Amino acid sequence: MSRAIALVDVNNCYVSCERVFNPKLIGKPVVVLSNNDGCAVARSAEVKALGIKMGVPWFQIKDLAKQHGIIALSSNYTLYAEMSNRFMSILGDYVTPDEREIYSIDECFLDLTTYQRLFDLTSYTQDMRQRINKWIGLPVSVGIGTTKTQAKLMNHWAKKFPQFNGVCNILEMDAPTIHRRMQKTPVNEVWGIGRQQTKALAAMGIVTVADLTASDPHVMQKRFSVVMGRTIQELQGIVCYELEPLQPTRKQIVSSRSFGELITTIEPLRQAICHYVRNAVTKLRADGSVCSLISVYIRTNHFREQDPQYYKSVSIRLHTPTDDLLLLNALATQALQEIFKAGFNYKKAGVMLSDLKPANQVTQDLFGNAVTDEKRERLIHAIEAVVERFGKSHINLGTVKKVIPDWEMKTANRSPNYLTSWEDLPLVT
């Protein structure tokens, strides 16, 4: 019995999520833009057919968009995250927790090795596809290989070749067929092979997946890296990467975004920093972690060559690791005061929490005030309860304004939060 690893991937995830709630978008060219409506981060098949690449700035394709009627939407990560949770929940009906690795918001590896005894894997995964499409409306593709890298490649073939009907299983192919298809697949379609590596490989005469698979992993490891050697071995069917059912503990948490408008004064910067601290600490506490180092940075827009440029960051180390929202917010505000300089047009700011460790492994400060600490913890729990019930906009730190300030992102074309907001529930008339 061969090892069987499947990669289940939502096709054009963000666009597909939008189409679930707005069927008028089906069949039309659609792009979803990044923060501040900057770049294309998701493209429908119709947009890909026009040759528009991932990450292209929106302003560069506006004329093309008018010509072909491309619909541009602002990203709605709250909606996408909730759809992802439902997608992963359905996959959990087909495997045990130890047989599932959530790789990204729209990708999940499944270990189907033992299921070969009971099911035809192609039929089994086709049933997954049909249930996901029926229950939450998302189209998915499945690639099955003996390694994770093979599963990634098979997933690419499942999307590219209609004859697979959304499921490509290398275990059902003979060696000549696999080799023939690998010869027709560019090497940059291999998981982890980037633009610079593609150029370097081409200089060596390696331009297809077949070329890379036939190369010596030990020689290539010396020439490139350990990762390259393992990638080749995985293509050859040698397991180098096991599934990781439990997500590794985060080593750092970053909360950072570009501003909708350029900022010249410290007050809107301070509001943005307070907002980012709250987002970062929410993740920190959800992980059950504490941090020992907080960093703050601000920067101008380096694309505006006519403007004077400035970038500055500062880090503050804590005597005792903490997840205290109020303390971290005060430290971040203090850090901003140190690095801010007037006379610049600021485009971006951010907060990073690092040197993280589990909260239950931290020794409390011997000279701390237990009563005060308990009161602060109750206050933070109260803030979290308000956010949980009414949303982030109903409570803020300090003098953060409720009205939309200059630092808020541009989201002119964002869809409603259909699944997480009572006010945005779709109406049937």
The model's pLDDT over 184-197, given as tens digits with 9 standing for 90+, comes to 999 999 999 988 99
Query: Residue 73 — pLDDT band, cuts 50, 70, 90?
Result: very high
Structure tokens at 97: 């927790």
CA atoms within 13 A on the CB side of 367: 2
Q: In what order do the strands lie in the sheet with 346-358?
A: 252-263, 346-358, 289-300, 311-322
Beta strands (DSSP E) in 228-345 are 252-263, 289-300, 311-322
Amino acid making up residue 288: G
Question: What is the spatial distance between Cα 222 and Cα 267, in angstroms, rounded to a whole number?
Answer: 52
Angular region, 149: left φ>0, alpha ψ -120 to 50, beta rest:
alpha
What is the average pLDDT across 30-47? 87
The predicted model scores a pTM of 0.74
Question: What is the spatial distance between Cα 227 and Cα 47, in angstroms, rounded to a whole number?
Answer: 33
Under a CB-based contact definition with an 8 Å cutoff, are residues 166 and 142 in contact? yes
Helix or strand holding residue 316 (H, E): strand 311-322
Tens digit of each residue's pLDDT (9 = 90 or more) over 331-362: 999 999 999 999 999 999 999 999 888 887 76
Under a CB-based contact definition with an 8 Å cutoff, are residues 193 and 153 in contact? no
Provide, rounded to the nearest whole percent, the portion of the chain with pLDDT above 70. 89
Q: Phi first, then psi: what are they for 48, rounded to 5°?
A: -60, -35
User: What pLDDT was estimated at residue 207?
Assistant: 95
Structure tokens at 137: 């409306």
Query: Residue 108 — pLDDT band, cuts 50, 70, 90?
Result: very high
Query: Residue 373 — pLDDT band, cuts 50, 70, 90?
Result: low
What is the average pLDDT across 65-93? 92
Residue matched to tokens 């080593």 = 251
Query: Residue 403 — pLDDT band, cuts 50, 70, 90?
Result: very low
